[in-house]
Structure 1
Amino acid sequence: MNMLTRLNRGDGLFPVTLRGVDDIFRTVLGQLAPDFTPEMMWDSGLAPKLEVEVKEDAVTARLPIPGCKPEDIDIEVVGTSLTIRARRESEVSDDDKAHYLRQERSFSEYEESVKLPVAIKGGETKAEYKDGILTVTLPRETAVPPTAHVVKVN
């Protein structure tokens, strides 16, 4: 009964907010696995992991996306924001003589944006896709030392 009391907040049998759904997972599954969090469901290890390294002269972003073709990868740099989009679709045989009992197709898309902590030269960004790993190199903007201005008051 304690579980029902915690889940029912006076707005029906189950809360309809996303926070309420998190509460349900925390309560029900938390009893089975005390270390469980709803975020663990989204971090299943299946999504590619973006790695961003900031160096003195450039920012390097690496992303494993095997099975993609270079023409299926889009990279966009706006200000200090980097967005990577990729899509992968399984090949389907065009063989008319083949008789398939079963043929499965897969399709997946990936998109991630990251705000970079430093100013970059977006127009000089270079990307390389080799052995299933995308490497994006963004040269850093040279820091302009601040200049002092003396302003006279009239």
Structure 2
Amino acid sequence: MTSQPIPSSTNGPQELLDYLPEDDGYTIPIFYKPAPRIHREVRFRYRPIEILERAILVEFKERKAEREVEEMFAGVIAGRITEWSLVEKVGDTEVPMPISKAKVLRLKPPLFLRMINTVVWGFDGGDEDPKLTVDQTAEDLDRMARAVAEGRPISDVIVGDLRKN
């Protein structure tokens, strides 16, 4: 898997659901504000982990040494992230950083730990994205209006729109 361009906003309310849809294409957009002297802003999308899958990870964590656990977390993160904004230097040029377990293991510890809390445990929903566009806000309002007009929950409208794409 390689990194890909991320849309200008990846953390809009239009994709917020209280459950995990059954279709396998569902991803969650995340934005992390820059952490001074640690990392730049980070954007990525990931496929969430279901509760029973997490239980398997908890059991693994309880039985293994810390090094094995960190390697497992890196593999899970790399396997769940579908795109990210991270770059690496090749000579004097910044290029998209491939998404891999090896690259995740090279992240600075605070960023790695935050990704664990987001991707593995699901406890960190990221920060508010300052690049939320007017078009995305209009899309949110359109979805709310359709939900009200059709007497459906907004989550049904969102899932329907996601399946169309």
TM-score range relative to shorter protein: under 0.3
Higher relative CO (CA 8 A, sep ≥ 6), structure 1 or 2? 2
Greater share of strand residues, 1 or 2?
A: 1
TM-score, scaled relative to structure 2: 0.23
TM-score, scaled relative to structure 1: 0.24
Greater share of helix residues, 1 or 2?
A: 2
Q: Of the two, which has the highest radius of gyration? A: 1
